[in-house]
Amino acid sequence: MLNDCKKLINKIFMENKIIENLEQLKKMLVLLSEERKVVLSHHKTFEHVEKMRAIVNESIEMANKQ
């Protein structure tokens, strides 16, 4: 029973974290889209994409653990 509760809490936490990651990616994509207010340098764009890739990798790892 206690083990089932821990699993449920862990699952809810991972689902919430994945949703947070998706929201963050959504905001970050605006900086690369036509809707952006400022044009990023190539260097900043590459840094930005690397951060986004890390977020995606984290989300995939969490989804695979479920």
Mean pLDDT over each residue of the chain, to the nearest integer: 92
What would the pLDDT profile of 17-32 be if each residue is shown by its tens digit?
Answer: 999 999 999 999 999 9
Q: What is the pLDDT of residue 58?
A: 95
Residue 4's pLDDT is what?
86
> What are all long-range contacts of 57-65, with beta carbons under 8 Å and residues at least 24 apart?
58/21, 59/17, 59/18, 59/21, 59/22, 62/14, 62/17, 62/18, 63/14, 63/18, 65/14
Among 65, 64, 3, 58, residue whose Cα is nearest residue 25: 58
Residue 51 CB contacts under 8 Å (≥ 6 apart), including other chains: 28
User: Which domain covers residue 28, as residue numbers?
Assistant: 2-65
The total domain count for the chain is 1
